[in-house]
Amino acid sequence: MKKMHVGPAKNCRKTVTVQGDKSISHRAIIIGSMAKGTTIVSNFLEAEDTLNTIKVYRELGVKIEKTKNKYYIYGRGAGSLRQSHEALYVGNSGTNIRLTMGVLSAKNFTSVITGDGQIVKRPMGRVIEPLTLMGAKFESNQGKAPVTILGGTLKGIEYKLPMASAQVKSAVLLAALGARGKTTIKEPIVSRDHTERMLKYFGAPITQSKGVITVKPGKEMKAKPVFVPGDISSAAYFIIAGLMMKNSVIRVKNVGLNPTRTGIIEVMKKMGGRIKISGLKVKNNEPVGDVISSTSRLKGVTIGGAMIPKLIDEIPVIAVAAAFAAGKTVIRDAKELRYKETDRIETVIKNLRRIGVKVEELPDGMVIHGNGGVPFKYADIDSFSDHRIAMAFSVAALSGENGLLIKDVECVNTSFPDFFDIMKKISVK
């Protein structure tokens, strides 16, 4: 278990580039594998999770090659996927396992899909339920992986999502492409829409209106080039670092600014953060631009409701910013955090308390009493093998008395292998 001391920093005037968006990288491989023709993907995130997605689709018979920092997906249409005689291994990726369950539900063969020690603890029933309504059959470990998918002929359904979940929604959409009849999905709260945007870009028969998504199967998707924008979840750590460090300005280049993902920017502005957007453009149906953050006096806010799906992955680092702010921050309606790589409500609270922050646990969130900009006290931080916990508290270390010691830092490789290289860049005085 590798440990790393991250020291305090200030006076940072840096421009950084974060790696490609993880959600879009996964979808580029999955949808590119279902399309007909050669999909060329640039700025692909090379992390454990996304590389496992490539391995899964190669196991399903798709030719995927890397040439000069670009990935070439030689798709032969959704009907060309073939049975793997080995269990498909997704590693730590909830996106891969849930979306692929949707894809394979519509195939006339049996598949087994599983992952690492954390994935086998995460609930798959939320995906199994709607796919079963479509006619798919499953065998599982009480609703958890490993999952056996008994694929076959599916029928279109009308389905109201019981929770805001892009993964569940995407699994149903991908299954619906191979079903008989149209499928309609109703969202109680709009969640990230990368799947819908990419399906439209590839020519899938999908329409959206006021929280209702409709898919009519039958039209084959055709390959398109995909540029993966910088991951806003990765950029969030450096955006917040720029707000918290003294005398600092950080520009993060070419960040994906999908409106279903920009909750981090909206909330930090509400907290008093000085944030600007520059060079806004659209690439393969996704908005992209530079995000510039400057040292700010942050204040506590209330976060909940429809905002939560727009920043669910960023809540650990938002909690760090809230701990540094003046006043009280209340986070509610975030029970989904309990079903991530760790129970992130519990693990964030444990580590905030270690660095001297008063925090109260709620069933669906927490109440953080900010210290008003007082440097955090030194402590050993346990990442609990959760990449977002490790990265969030590395940002806290920049505003600590003597930094922080982060335990088990290898876990960041699941989503952001270059994280500590960029941290070193911004912490050099």
Does 418 participate in catalysis according to the annotation? no
Catalytic residue among 313, 382, 386, 408: 313
User: Where does residue 85 rank: exposed (0-12), middle (13-18), buried (19+ CB within 10 A)?
Assistant: exposed
- What letter does residue 384 receive in the DSSP assignment? T
Measured N-to-C along each axis, helices 94-105 and 22-34 cross at an angle, to the nearest 10 degrees, of: 20
Is 312 in contact with 285 (CB distance < 8 Å)? no
Contacts 24+ apart (CB under 8 A), 198-201: 198/24, 198/27, 198/28, 198/31, 198/226, 198/284, 198/285, 199/31, 199/173, 200/285, 201/284, 201/285
Amino acid letter, 134:
M
Is 362 in contact with 332 (CB distance < 8 Å)? yes
- List beta partners, residue 250: 14, 293
Nearest CA to 394 among 382, 376, 406? 406
Q: Dig out the tokens for 289 from the structure.
A: 């631009």
Cα distances from 292 to residues 19, 275, 402, in angstroms, run 17, 6, 27
Nearest CA to 363 among 349, 345, 348? 345
Is 397 in contact with 404 (CB distance < 8 Å)? yes
The phi and psi torsions of 341 (rounded to 5 degrees) equal -55, -35
- List beta partners, residue 66: 71
CA separation for the pair 345, 326 (Å, rounded): 21
Is 286 in contact with 229 (CB distance < 8 Å)? yes
User: How would you classify residue 221: left for phi > 0, otherwise alpha for psi between -120 and 50, otherwise beta?
Assistant: beta
Nearest CA to 294 among 40, 13, 16? 13
Q: Which residues are marked as active site?
A: 313
